[in-house]
Structure formats: structure tokens, C-alpha cells
Amino acid sequence: MNEFELKYGCNPNQKPARIYMKDGSELPIKVLNGRPGYINFLDAFNSWQLVKELKDILGFPAVTSFKHVSPTSAAVGLPLDEKLKKACFVTDVKGLDESPLACAYARARGTDRMSSFGDWVALSDVCDVTTAKMIKREVSDGIIAPGYEPEALEILKQKKNGGYNIVEVDPEYVPAAQETKEVFGITFEQGHNFFRIDEDLLKNIVTENKELPDSAKRDLIISLITLKYTQSNSVCYAYDGQAIGVGAGQQSRIHCTRLAGQKADTWFLRQADKVLNLPFKKLGRPEKDNVIDSYINQNEEDVCAEGNWQKYFTEQPAPFTKEEQAAYLATKTGVSLGSDAFFPFGDNIERAHRSGVSYIAEPGGSVRDDDVIATCDRYGITMAFTGMRLFHH
């Protein structure tokens, strides 16, 4: 197959639409089920590159959850502790601890569950039965992987009344050195971004604190590879083998840092005892996600308000006050932060510090690098200049 006809492009009025190989060669993918659309394939091809690179560099199975051409999270297959399992809604998954791929999926899908609603999933490894069973019960549009165990494939084919999009990718496929796209009828051409992100990129430490443990190197690599496939401007917080906060597509870098920091904070707060022990009635998973988010962020429709809580809880929970949340978050350190371009002001470091950031990797090159470094030194943060921008559009 050297082309695949799409139902339509980004929007229903954009017809005809297709994907194809300009040189007439075979597409490096097979559609095993469903009929993926234009945006589905944009997510599929970007997400596949992300997990393939994570696996190649770190050696762990990797998974990412994608929405609208940016990752909500990415993770490698490290075990989950009991609190994280509960926060990710996977305490009931049999065989989870025996499947690193399933652990990676639990982390990636469980990080920002609201943003992952209706996501596209990419797996670095052949999809096993445990991972397929977890995906089956989530709201998702499709999946790309280098292969599927026969039973896993049959499980996934049952999703969406048999219409779940399942794509198999050739893991040996390498794109051409030059890539093109058209905008407004005008063709753009550039070299494919083959830049390798590994530990060598973290050697230029510019702060007084030079400490960079292996766990931080791993998390910074996860952060930077995630950014390589995130719509810019973007920053990414990472911790314990996964991206825990992605700020994508913002015009201002401080807005990226705030947005991603808020997501990282929410990820930590979801694991607080006060949240884990909420007295829920039997709710659907998406509805439960929404209630937890409202409970943590104290939205205008406060779920603890009298007359509202009865819909969700068996008894009224005590509010999770901003003071309690701040005290809880103050105990969190060791977070890694990557940025796809330099930080222009120290305010980004100030905000990152509030979310427990201890390690930073960014390109450097700002006229205010000295101020950014000084802010890191004030908090004892280790920062490496990578010298490489990672814009993606």
C-alpha cells in the first residue's frame, strides 16, 4: 500500500484527503482496524517517533499519550508504587507488575487523564494482553505499535464497536533526510530532525551545583525527547521516569512553565492521601477525573459545596485547602525540567522551583543567561546548557 484515503482532512470540509509516499514506495504502516483520519495520523507518526527514540536511548519500553499533535505525557516502563497505581486507576490490573510496557502505559495515560481523554497511544514494543486490556477500558481514538500479540489485537478490535483505529508500523523504517510540507500552496523543505538526545547533551553544567544523578539524567532525557515532538513553545517537567507536566504551544515561555507546572502540581496532588481517600460513589472513570480536578483546583463549581457533593460522594469530604496543598507540594523535590528554547528571564526558574524542580536542561543563549543561572544558584538547582533548540511545528 503506497497511499491511504482519508475520510477528510483536519475538518470535514477539507476533501479529498490522503496520505501517500511521494516516491511511490510502500507506506511503512498497516491499518489493521478502523479508518484513521488526518489528525490521527499526525498524532500517530509524531508519537511513534517519540517512543522509538525513548526506547533506543534509555532501553526501557516507552509509551506516550497524544492529543492534537502534542503529548500529554510520555513514560518508560518503571514499576509503580501503590499510591501511583491508585492515582492512575490501575490497582485492579492483573499482571501489571510483570509487564514493563503496561507500566509505561499506566504512567503515560495516568499523568494528565483529562487531557488524555480521546487520545492517540503509541507503544515502543509489541502490544501485550495486559496493555491491551488497559487501553480497552479508556476513551481513546487509536494506537500505533510495531506489532500486536494475537489476543491483544482481538481485544483492541472490540473498542468503539469494532471501529478502533489500530496501526502497525515498520520499526525499521527511516524517513528521508529531507522533508517537505505545503502551507498556503507554498512548499517548505527542511532536513529531518535526526538530532540525538542522550547523556552527552547534559555535560555542560553552568550552575554552581554540578550534581546530576543518573535518575535526573534519565528524566531530563525523557523531558527533552518529549519536547522534540511537542508543539512549540514548550517546556516539560519529568519525574520518576515520566513526563508529569507538558506546556505546549504557548507564545510566552513563562506561560509554558506555569501551565506545565500546574499540571505537574496536579499530578503530585492526585497522590495525596486526601485525594486518594475521597469517598466516591460509583462513577465512570472520566467523570471521576473531572471531580478530582475540581476538588484539587477548587473550581467555581466546587465539588465540596453544600448541595453539590451528594452527586459524587457517599459523604461530604473536607476541602483540600490551598494552604494544605502548598505544604504538601513543598515536600516534593527532584523534578527535572526541559525547555525547547532558552529561558529569557529568571521568572521561569522561580516558577519551576515552586513545583519541586531540582534539575534543568535548556539550550542557553539568552542575553540574560547570567540572571537565569543566578536564579538557579539561589535555589541550588543544577542546570545544563544543551546548546540545541528543539522547536517543533
Note the pLDDT tens digit of each residue in 96-106.
Answer: 999 999 999 99
* pLDDT, mean of residues 273-290: 93
Active-site annotation holder among 33, 165, 233, 290 = 233
Strand pairing partners for 242? 75, 239
- Please indicate whether residue 68 is annotated as part of the active site: yes
- CB contact at 8 A, 45 and 38: no
Whole-prediction pTM: 0.96
* pLDDT, mean of residues 36-52: 97
Residue 235 lies in a domain: yes
Query: Could you give the CA distance from residue 27 to residue 10 in angstroms, rounded to a whole number?
Result: 21
Q: Which of 284, 301, 319 is the last residue of a domain?
A: 319
Q: Inform me whether the pLDDT recorded for 302 exceeds 80.
A: no
Same domain, 241 and 306: no
pLDDT band at 296 (very low <50, low <70, confident <90, very high): very high
- CB contact at 8 A, 73 and 97: no
Q: Inform me whether the pLDDT recorded for 32 exceeds 80.
A: yes
Element (H, E) at 222: helix 214-228
Same domain, 38 and 94: yes
* pLDDT, mean of residues 36-46: 97
Q: Inform me whether the pLDDT recorded for 299 exceeds 80.
A: no
Same domain, 126 and 163: yes
pLDDT at 309: 83
- Please indicate whether residue 255 is annotated as part of the active site: no
- CB contact at 8 A, 105 and 135: yes
Residue 200 lies in a domain: yes
Active-site annotation holder among 67, 228, 263, 353 = 67
* pLDDT, mean of residues 193-221: 98
Same domain, 303 and 353: no
Same domain, 347 and 373: yes
Residue 260 lies in a domain: yes
- Please indicate whether residue 353 is annotated as part of the active site: no
Residue 232: closest CA among 339, 335, 337: 339
How many domains, the chain? 3
Domain with 349 in it = 179-269+329-385
Residue 324 lies in a domain: no
Same domain, 265 and 277: no
Q: Give per-residue pLDDT as tens, 47-72.
A: 999 999 999 999 999 999 999 999 99
Residue 350 lies in a domain: yes
Residue 72 lies in a domain: yes
pLDDT at 243: 98
Q: Give per-residue pLDDT as tens, 147-193.
A: 999 999 999 999 999 999 999 999 999 999 999 999 999 999 999 99
Same domain, 29 and 167: yes
pLDDT band at 303 (very low <50, low <70, confident <90, very high): confident
Q: Which of 140, 174, 208 is the last residue of a domain?
A: 174
Same domain, 123 and 259: no
pLDDT at 308: 79
What is the residue-wise DSSP string for 325-383?
HHHHHTT---EEEEESS---STHHHHHHHHTTEEEEEE----TTHHHHHHHHHHHT-EE
pLDDT at 210: 98
Q: Inform me whether the pLDDT recorded for 94 exceeds 80.
A: yes
Same domain, 158 and 25: yes
* pLDDT, mean of residues 104-133: 97
pLDDT at 306: 66
Same domain, 167 and 206: no
Residue 332: closest CA among 205, 247, 237, 255: 237
Query: Could you give the CA distance from residue 183 to residue 10 in angstroms, rounded to a whole number?
Result: 14
- The mean pLDDT of the chain is 95
Same domain, 193 and 235: yes
Residue 393 lies in a domain: no
- Please indicate whether residue 233 is annotated as part of the active site: yes
Same domain, 99 and 154: yes
* pLDDT, mean of residues 18-23: 93
CATH number for 120: 3.40.140.20
- How do 140-145 and 165-169 pair as beta strands? parallel
pLDDT band at 1 (very low <50, low <70, confident <90, very high): confident
Residue 392 lies in a domain: no
Q: Inform me whether the pLDDT recorded for 242 exceeds 70.
A: yes
Query: Could you give the CA distance from residue 350 to residue 336 in angstroms, rounded to a whole number?
Result: 14
Active-site annotation holder among 68, 83, 160, 255 = 68
pLDDT band at 301 (very low <50, low <70, confident <90, very high): low
* pLDDT, mean of residues 258-275: 97
